[in-house]
Chains A and B, each alone.
Chain A
Amino acid sequence: MSCRELVALVTEYLDGSMPRPERIRFERHVAVCPPCRAHLEQMRTTIRAAGALTEESISPAARDALLDAFSGWSDG
């Protein structure tokens, strides 16, 4: 597995959807290749940073309006 091939497979690896023999080859490569290790770590960091974005929300007034709409719906 070349570095180029490894980089193309990173998402599959992180998803855990890689067949075992390929996974072993992937991990063996990473163990001896610092730039690929750095790349894998950067991908993990990217995912972590994306997961740390502030949660979105709607205004309390909009939420209240929705709950009232629900009450109207269930009464009707």
Chain B
Amino acid sequence: MERHAAVGERSTVDETALLAALRRGDRDAFATLVDANTPWMMRIALSHVSSRASAEDAVQEAWLRCLRGLEGFEERSALKSWLFVIVTNCARRRAERDARSVPFSELARREAERIEPDPLEHRFFDDSHPRWPGGWTTFSPGWEGLPEQRLLASEVSVRIESATARLPAGQRAVFLLRDVEGWRSEDVCSALGISGSNQRVLLHRARHTIRAVLEDYLEGGEEQ
């Protein structure tokens, strides 16, 4: 996962050097920055808008805003967090259904703090069960026996992509950054402006949904 350059809550030494190069007008430094960050920015943009063209426009606009803000960028926050906020704003403004003015961090926080039923509730005995309190009622066979090609088949990717698109916005952003793009939890918290525990709640719910989608597919008798 080399492409997931680790960036902490503050700018790292490398990032400080990169920023200095950008401010000197070093085109190669900018190309490096664009190549390292455009893939995840595009994924975030795609999660808000309905077409590739529109996502690409949002990413373009985000980079132009980044350039305009570069002189004033304060290195107290990581570049990635800053880019996340910009690209999210650019993409949300393009998606009419999201034209409301609730900041994304607020949206994600509310979503995490909403009480939701346990998605696997029906799979467990009651906590007062005499023999198996809180134990599994039905067992999933496990996926160890499945061939690797089946787990990484393009159909699996298609199912993950479409299930991700249906997740609530906060879960979707956390899942895309953490599990699809491989960000560390600190970086996701800082980009989304949410607490570690809220981030974990969103990630946990999203993973449960995606796991269930894979379970349906992998155990759904579509072997041949």
A residues near B (Cβ < 8 Å) are 2-5, 7-8, 10-12, 15, 17, 34-39, 41-43, 45-59, 62-63, 65-67, 69-71, 73-75
A53 contacts B161, C-beta separation under 8 Å: yes
Chain A residues whose CB sits within 8 angstroms of the CB of B56 once the complex forms? 58-59, 62
Chain A residues whose CB sits within 8 angstroms of the CB of B67 once the complex forms? 69-70, 73
Q: Could you list 9 A-B pairs, sorted by A, with CB under 8 Å? A: A3-B135, A34-B142, A42-B214, A49-B157, A52-B157, A58-B38, A67-B27, A73-B67, A74-B24
A53 contacts B157, C-beta separation under 8 Å: yes
Chain B residues whose CB sits within 8 angstroms of the CB of A70 once the complex forms? 27, 30, 67
Interface string of B15-42 (1 = CB under 8 A from A): 0000000001101001100110011101
Which candidate, B99-107, B109-117, B196-204, is the interface stretch facing chain A?
B196-204
Q: Which of B31, B63, B135, B207 contacts A43 (CB 8 A)?
A: B207
**C-alpha spacing A63/B37, complex, angstroms:** 12
A2 contacts B143, C-beta separation under 8 Å: no
Output the nearest chain B residue to A52 by Cβ-Cβ distance: B152
Q: Is B82 an interface residue (CB 8 A)?
A: no
B60 contacts A62, C-beta separation under 8 Å: yes
A35 contacts B139, C-beta separation under 8 Å: yes
Output the nearest chain A residue to B45 by Cβ-Cβ distance: A56
A56 contacts B140, C-beta separation under 8 Å: no
Chain A residues whose CB sits within 8 angstroms of the CB of B64 once the complex forms? 66, 69
Chain B residues whose CB sits within 8 angstroms of the CB of A36 once the complex forms? 136
Scoring A37, A47, A58, A71 by chain B CB atoms within 10 A of each residue's CB, the highest score goes to A58
Query: Shortest distance in angstroms between B56's beta carbon and chain A's nearest beta carbon?
Result: 5
A4 contacts B124, C-beta separation under 8 Å: yes
Chain B residues whose CB sits within 8 angstroms of the CB of A15 once the complex forms? 185, 200
Chain B residues whose CB sits within 8 angstroms of the CB of A52 once the complex forms? 152, 157
Chain A residues whose CB sits within 8 angstroms of the CB of B124 once the complex forms? 2-4, 7
Chain B residues whose CB sits within 8 angstroms of the CB of A42 once the complex forms? 140, 142-143, 211, 214-215
A74 contacts B127, C-beta separation under 8 Å: no
**C-alpha spacing A43/B136, complex, angstroms:** 16
A57 contacts B207, C-beta separation under 8 Å: no
**C-alpha spacing A12/B204, complex, angstroms:** 8
Chain B residues whose CB sits within 8 angstroms of the CB of A66 once the complex forms? 30, 34, 60, 63-64
**C-alpha spacing A15/B47, complex, angstroms:** 24
B152 contacts A46, C-beta separation under 8 Å: no
A53 contacts B140, C-beta separation under 8 Å: no
Q: Which of A49, A51, A56 contacts B214 (CB 8 A)?
A: A49
Given contacts A45-B214, A46-B210, 13 further A-B contacts (CB under 8 A): A2-B133, A4-B124, A11-B200, A11-B207, A37-B142, A45-B143, A49-B152, A52-B157, A56-B42, A56-B46, A65-B60, A69-B63, A74-B24
